[in-house]
Amino acid sequence: LRAPLEELPAKCFLVPGIPVKPMLAHPTKGISEVLDRFADQTFTCEYKYDGERGQVHVLENGQVKVFSRNSEDSTGKFPDIVRTLPQALAAGTRSAVLDCEIVAYDTDAQRILPFQVLSTRARKKVLEADVKVQVRLFVFDALFLNGRSLLHETLRTRRELLLAAFHEGEHVRFVTHREVSDKDGMLDFLQAAVDDSCEGLMIKALDSEYEPDKRSRLWLKVKKDYVEGMSDSVDLVLLGAWHGKGKRTSTFGAFLLACYCPDTGEYQTVCKLGTGFSDERLAALSATLTPLALPAAPAEYRVPDGPGGPEVWFAPRLVWEVAGADLTLSP
């Protein structure tokens, strides 16, 4: 080292071409919690898109690189973004690092498609001529612009600079945002986001700096399945389970759920569920389910072929009400 460790932050610079870990948002249970947390702050609401987090770098030489949330180089996955992003640069914009969400997009219907559609897109060495899943890049933040790091600027300033340095293009859009300060206004905007095929809202303090690799309470997220009256629920039958991992090895950690078809007498699998349980609840469920265990899946259980199925099967005795944002088909 050429300098003491305490000087390391001052010696490390954000440089286009080298990814940084993204800033993350804290989940909330609803609009009221957001208003309580931001009672003394000015904030903005943005659509929360159902896509893949992307960090897009524009280098001084004109090269465009795309990195994933985990800092993996995804440039080869998005040749359409690489080709069209330079067209969105305003005059004088030479270099940038942008925080974005990449979504699958139906160009005929002009609507966002579920994440499951995006997940079918090839990951490496994609030729634009072979692309079957079209995408849109929704830009919501700028971390670097024209040789200058913006990490310590406020979101208000970063947004102003972003809007001046770029314009919307063939595959590039700015995030839809609105400044609201009351519950009714936020609920209206949340409903608009859901109507536009989004997951919910991101709520951000306008005076917040960009903090890489931190889940900040200055950024909050509200998903429609957190809000009473906006989520969908279905009654499903428990068929099987997988053992937990880590601290949950002594309990079941995930469950296979199905619906019953009275016409055929079959149980048709719907989803694998592994969230929404406390450790205490999982322990109680394991005690309840163990006596219901079966040596194998009965013939009336209609399950996908291949490996990866439940480690334990149960007699169909328990019915759970399951709430979620949407029901979507697996790719």
CB burial of residue 199 (10 Å; 0-12, 13-18, 19+): buried
Mean pLDDT of the chain: 91
**Which of residues 125 and 51 earns the better pLDDT score?**
51
**Residue 225 scores a pLDDT above 90:** no
**Which residues pair with residue 144 across a beta bridge?**
97, 149
- Residue 162's pLDDT is 98
- Other C-beta atoms closer than 10 Å to the C-beta of 77 total 23
pLDDT of residue 30: 86
pLDDT (tens digit, 9 = 90+) per residue, 61-81?
999 999 999 999 999 999 999
* Annotated catalytic residue within 48, 77, 204, 221: 48
Q: What number is the average pLDDT over the span 169-183?
A: 93
Which pLDDT tens digit goes with each residue over 239-264? 999 998 877 778 898 999 999 999 99
What residues are paired with 139 via a beta bridge?
A: 100, 174
Q: pTM for the complete prediction? A: 0.77
CATH code of the domain occupying 232-324: 2.40.50.140
CATH 3.30.470.30 domain span(s) along the chain: 10-226
Q: What is the pLDDT of residue 113?
A: 94
Identify whether the C-beta of residue 27 lies closer than 8 Å to the C-beta of residue 223: yes
If we measure between CA atoms, which residue out of 112, 29, 30 comes closest to residue 328?
112
In the residue annotation, 29 being an active-site residue is answered as no
The one-letter amino acid code at 310 reads: P
Among the listed ranges 5-19, 141-155, 201-215, which one has the minimum average pLDDT value?
A: 5-19
Q: Could you tell me the pLDDT band of residue 174, with boundaries at 50, 70 and 90?
A: very high
Percent of the chain residues topping a pLDDT of 70: 94
| Phi, psi values for residue 175, rounded to 5° | -60, 140
Question: CA-to-CA distance for 147 and 198, rounded, in angstroms?
Answer: 33
What kind of fold does domain 10-226 have according to CATH? D-amino Acid Aminotransferase; Chain A, domain 1 (3.30.470)
SS3 at position 324: strand
HEC readout, 184-227: HHHHHHHHHHHHCCCCEEEEEECCCCCCCCCEEEEEEEEEHHHC
Q: What is the DSSP string of 301-322?
A: EE--SSS---SEEE-S--EEEE
Each residue's pLDDT tens digit, 311-322: 999 999 999 988
Residue 326, pLDDT score: 63
- Separation between Cα atoms, residue 71 and residue 76, nearest integer Å: 14
pLDDT of amino acid 1: 59
Has residue 159 got a pLDDT over 80?
A: yes
As annotated, the residues of the chain forming the CATH 2.40.50.140 domain(s) are 232-324
Mean pLDDT to the nearest integer, 220-236: 79
Q: For 91-118, how does the pLDDT look when each residue is reduced to its tens digit (9 = 90+)?
A: 999 999 999 999 999 999 999 999 989 9
